[in-house]
């Protein structure tokens, strides 16, 4: 297989810009997803009337519709009723909407795994619900949820590959454009694979390290 190394070298700046865009979208989408997930999981755990039912509906809607459809609704559907967002904003909102539901389930499973005896012990010494959540439930839930949260972070980073559908020049869009203009399919896709490896592999290794450290701390090793 003969690769056009000159073409690949000339294309590197385009992939570099697309990687930075992907990192920015993923960072904000994942950050807001974690915030949404934490808030929703706490509300569901305490079974707040009405709101917990709304959150359950949101989770079902989010997890059972593709991100691409959600992005199309934000970018092409909302302007029909006078609501306009930029491409970047639509991408972050879409990623947050999808990721928030997955993070909610991850946090919820961690919260529900906390021993009832510890919760009862906290209540017996006079801790309020807020103090109980802050000092007893959430620290342990975080440790238990790390594997699921890490998997969701990697999942959301890879899901950024569809944001090019709303005219953002992400990695996938750059590769498609280069293939269409220069017919260098192998070179363009090879650079695409390398770019995603550069983004995902270090993150995966860091999350694995964090998971191991948290597990050791949890069991006192």
Q: Which domains does the chain have, with CATH numbers?
A: 11-218 (1.10.3720.10)
Task: Output the pLDDT for position 196.
Answer: 93
Task: Output the pLDDT for position 220.
Answer: 46
Kindly report the three-state secondary structure assignment for every residue of the chain.
CCCCHHHHHHHHHHHHHHHHHHHHHHHHHHHHHHHHHHHHHHHHHCCCCCHHHHHHHHHHHHHCCCHHHHHHHHHHHHHHHCCCCCHHHHHHHHHHHHHHHHHHHHHHHHHHCCCHHHHHHHHHCCCCHHHHHHHHHHHHHHHHHHHHHHHHHHHHHHHHHHHHHHCCCCHHHHHHHHHHHHCCHHHHHHHHHHHHHHHHHHHHHHHHHHHHHHHHHHCCC
Q: What is the pLDDT along the chain (221 residues), one digit of tens a residue?
A: 678 888 889 999 999 999 999 999 999 999 999 999 999 998 888 888 899 999 999 999 999 999 999 999 999 999 999 999 999 999 999 999 999 999 999 988 888 888 788 787 887 888 777 788 778 888 888 888 888 899 999 999 999 989 888 878 888 889 999 998 888 889 999 999 999 999 999 999 998 888 887 765 554 44
Cβ atoms of 211 and 150 within 8 Å: the answer is yes
Tell me the C-alpha distance between 209 and 189, whole Å: 30
* pTM beyond 0.85, yes or no: yes
């Amino acid at each position: 297989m003969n690769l056009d190394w000159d073409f690949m070298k000339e294309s590197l700046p385009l992939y570099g810009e697309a990687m930075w865009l992907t990192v920015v979208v993923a960072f904000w989408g994942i950050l807001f997803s974690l915030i949404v997930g934490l808030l929703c999981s706490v509300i569901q755990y305490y079974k707040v009337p009405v709101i917990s039912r709304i959150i359950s509906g949101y989770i079902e809607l989010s997890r059972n519709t593709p991100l691409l459809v959600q992005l199309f609704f934000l970018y092409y559907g909302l302007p029909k009723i006078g609501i306009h967002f930029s491409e970047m904003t639509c991408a972050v909102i879409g990623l947050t909407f999808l990721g928030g539901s997955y993070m909610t389930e991850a946090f919820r499973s961690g919260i529900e795994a906390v021993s009832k005896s510890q919760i009862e012990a906290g209540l017996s010494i006079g801790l309020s619900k807020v103090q109980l959540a802050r000092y007893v439930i959430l620290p342990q839930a975080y440790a238990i949820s790390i594997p699921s949260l890490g998997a969701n972070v990697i999942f959301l980073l890879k899901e950024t590959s569809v944001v090019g559908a709303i005219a953002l020049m992400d990695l996938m869009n750059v590769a498609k454009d280069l293939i269409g203009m220069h017919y260098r399919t192998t070179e363009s896709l090879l650079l695409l694979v390398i770019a995603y490896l550069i983004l995902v592999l270090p993150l995966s290794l860091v999350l694995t390290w964090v998971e191991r450290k948290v597990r050791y701390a949890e069991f006192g090793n």
